[in-house]
Amino acid sequence: MKKIINEPDHVVDEMLNGLAFAYDSLVTRIPETTVIARKVEKSNKVGLVSGGGSGHEPSHAGFVGKGMLSAAVAGQVFTSPTPDQVLEGIKAADEGAGVFLVIKNYTGDVMNFDMAKELAELEDIDVEFVIVDDDIAVEDSTFTAGRRGVAGTVFMHKILGAAADSGASLSEIKELADKVNEQLFSIGLALSPATNPEVGKPGFELEDQEIEFGIGIHGEPGYRRETLQPSKELAKEFVTQLKKEMNWSEGDRYAALVNGMGATPLMEQFVFMNDVKKLLVDDEKLDLAFRKVGDYMTAIDMAGVSLTLLKIEDDQWLDYLNAPVDVIGW
């Protein structure tokens, strides 16, 4: 294992310290916690909290700041943060108008964030939540009851963050989150596995020319292994699977995110986006009204890519996606 680290057990703590120091004009680390909170003046608006296991950077701390998350809570690598840590994130985000939790659908995250919600309500903080389950690849995979939450979570952060910044109430954000979640779909693939520094070896094995469709962001199994194909064929597989779920019509408006899994160069991600454009815009005649390419929800050093599509049901969703932010990772 070749990694630029010190002691594997200290990776998350040292990462959070380095992040908070490097971007101390935007965020701060709450002492004695794994919480990164934004440095903006309190304004009696709804606070937005997300988080999960580390190893998905820039998710989630990279989206803390004006216009997106109020706070992010980090667990150990690929491990949910504990309820007491999530509670500290809720308390840091609370401005008096309630706190909304964005939770990826993994058993540990759902359980621990729910426990933290109950603890916060005992302290008279109103809390609502959404469980993002955008991954169409498999159901009831490792660590999951139902579909996994993956890179679509980033669109959820952006839209809800803009809504909160505009002054939406807790109940309005809950209604918006549920509607967005119904229109949010993702699928990914891996070319090579991730190596958890706390484990010291890859989480699974792929042959040199082998890929896996539907892989999870913790290395959970996908739905099919094949020999590596040209980018346009990989894009065709993604679009075929997404179309089965979304049943779109010519002229429908979508937001599209091509997301790198950690070790895939931007050059390759842009090639892939070009192939997605040919399929969705030129062939399917969809309006990709919002596009984004880059590393947003990674799996440490996994090589691979995912594609997220969000059907834009309301003009305001597009406004929220385009709203300015002051964060590290967007």
295: left (phi over 0), alpha (psi -120 to 50) or beta: beta
Whether 54 and 197 have beta carbons less than 8 Å apart is answered as: no
The set of residues, in sequence order, having a beta carbon less than 8 Å from that of 5 and lying 6+ positions away, is 11, 14, 197
10 carries an active-site annotation:
no
Whether 221 and 138 have beta carbons less than 8 Å apart is answered as: yes
The set of residues, in sequence order, having a beta carbon less than 8 Å from that of 295 and lying 6+ positions away, is 58, 259, 260, 261, 262
Taking the CA of residue 285 as centre, how many other CA atoms within 13 Å lie in the half-sphere pointing to its CB? Answer: 3
Q: How does DSSP classify residue 277?
A: H
Count Cβ atoms below 10 Å from residue 223 Cβ, excluding itself: 14
What are the two backbone dihedrals, phi and then psi, of residue 193, each rounded to the nearest 5 degrees?
-80, 170
Taking the CA of residue 185 as centre, how many other CA atoms within 13 Å lie in the half-sphere pointing to its CB? Answer: 20
Antiparallel, parallel or unpaired: β 253-260 and 303-311: antiparallel
Give the active site residue among 10, 56, 60, 157. Answer: 56
60 carries an active-site annotation:
no
Retrieve residue 75's tokens: 């667990």
Give start and end residues of each alpha helix (H) in the chain.
11-22, 83-93, 107-122, 152-165, 170-182, 231-246, 266-277, 315-322
Residue 92 carries which side chain, given as an amino acid letter? A
CA distances from 61 to 11, 114, 121, 178 (A): 15, 20, 24, 23
Which sequence positions are flagged as catalytic? Answer: 56, 218
